[in-house]
Every structure is written in structure tokens, then in C-alpha cells.
Amino acid sequence: MSPQCNSFSPVESKASEGLTLFIKMIGISLLIITPLSIIIMAIPVFNTKEISTELKIILLSLFTIIASFFAWLIIQKKQKNTTTHIIADEKGLHHYCNRNILHSITFTDLNPNPENGKYDVFLTEYEESAPCLCVYLFEQTLNKSTYKTVNLDIDVVITNGNLLLKNFVKGILIFRPDLKVAPNVLNLFRLEEFDKSNCILSASQSRK
């Protein structure tokens, strides 16, 4: 049996507190500096006699809209439930806010590609970004299966994102052997030699 198959252990995201704090400080600074700069710029504009009243009204409206937008960003940031950590376990990939699950992609939710012969788990490459892992999920509004990108959306910088996705793909190989995983996915996460048959047997025995 492959050493990868001895057990399927959950993997939890690991945060880099220093880098997270640095990025948050930059974000807070921008939220403060930008509207403050607008106010500083607006004062001499409105004191200038050469500018007509109509133009001043237009500029005032523009400054108000920009300031309101940044105020809205701050309020939204405080109100929304943010992901504190992510776990890839035997059920799927879960985004948590402290102890509460915000949303999950479970292995039972995964669907085969509607186009026969195509891969069910694959990579989508964008010109200026890294390859993205994609799976098929049922979209109720469209009443059909569509591919979705497996995102690790989280408000902290995580250092083991690749390991989380690898564990998720490994779970697909074990718990959803009916799905076809593209070779480049296995290559990316170094799972080419993964012994799926032994893993399925190991998983079924551990559940008894």
C-alpha cells in the first residue's frame, strides 16, 4: 500500500500572522489616507474663485461619492462573516468562521462533467495567473451542472494552500473514484503514483 494511503487525515489552513498583519495595515492605511487626501484636495479647489459654482457642485458630488464608497467598504468589512480558517477533511473542503461553517464543497456535491469523455476535475489556466482547480457542481438557478473554481478565499495569508488543495484532490480520488481527474491535476499535486484502489479499501475498512 502506498504510504499516502495509510490514513486520510484532515488538513487545516495555517496562517502567517506577520504577513497578514502587514497586509491589513496597508489596507487600513489606504482606507484612511484616500478619503483624507480627497478632503485635503477639495479645500483649495472650493476656495478658488476661478472655478464656477456649477463645477464646484459637480466636484463636491464626486468627492462625496468617493468618500461614501470608502465608508461603505469599511462598514461591509465589519458586517460580513469572514473566513477564519479552512479545513480539507474526509467530507470535503470547508470554510469556517471560528466554529461555524460558512460554506463547503463536499465530495457528495461533486458532479461528473456533462460533456461525456471530458475530465470531471481539471485545471483552468488564465493568461496572467496560476492554474485554478475546477470541479463540477449543480447550479440550481441554471438547473444544470457547471464548473466552479475551488477558491481558498480567506482574510488571512495562508502558507499551506497547495497542501489543502492536494488533500481535497486526494479525497476525490478516495471517496469519488467515479470522477475522472485530469493528469495535469495529478501532476501539479504530485499524486501520479497515488494508489486509488488500495486507498478506497483502506477508507472503507476504517469506517467499519
Confidence of residue 200 (pLDDT cuts 50, 70, 90): low
DSSP H helical ranges for the chain:
17-47, 53-79, 161-175, 183-188, 196-207
Burial (CB < 10 A; 0-12, 13-18, 19+), residue 148, is middle
- Asked if the model's pLDDT at residue 11 lies above 90, the reply is yes
Q: What is the per-residue pLDDT across 65-79, written as a single tens digit (0 to 9) for each?
A: 777 776 666 665 655
pTM of the complete model = 0.69
- Please say if the pLDDT value at position 5 is more than 60: no
User: What one-letter code names the amino acid at 78?
Assistant: K
pLDDT at residue 178 is higher than 90: yes
| Angstrom distance (rounded) from CA 15 to CA 161 | 10
The answer to whether the CB of 169 falls within 8 A of the CB of 121 is yes
Q: Does 60 score more than 70 pLDDT?
A: yes
- What's the pLDDT at 2? 45
What residue ranges do the domains of the chain occupy?
Answer: 17-79, 108-151+161-206
Q: Which residue has the higher pLDDT, 167 or 131?
A: 167
- List Cα–Cα distances, 92 to 24, 75, 174, in angstroms: 29, 32, 11
Average pLDDT over residues 126-147: 83
For residues 102 and 154, give the distance between their C-alpha atoms in angstroms, rounded to a whole number.
Answer: 11
Look at residue 96 in the predicted model and tell me its pLDDT: 92
Q: Tell me what pLDDT residue 21 has.
A: 67
User: In 10 A of CB 164, how many CB atoms?
Assistant: 21
Mean pLDDT of 47-54: 72
**Top-confidence residue, 192 or 47:** 192
Between the alpha carbon of residue 63 and those of residues 45, 72, 76, 118, 195, the distances in Å are 11, 14, 20, 52, 61
Cα–Cα dist 57/101, whole Å: 48
Nearest Cα to Cα of residue 198 among 166, 174, 170, 179? 174
Grade residue 83 by pLDDT with cuts at 50, 70 and 90: confident
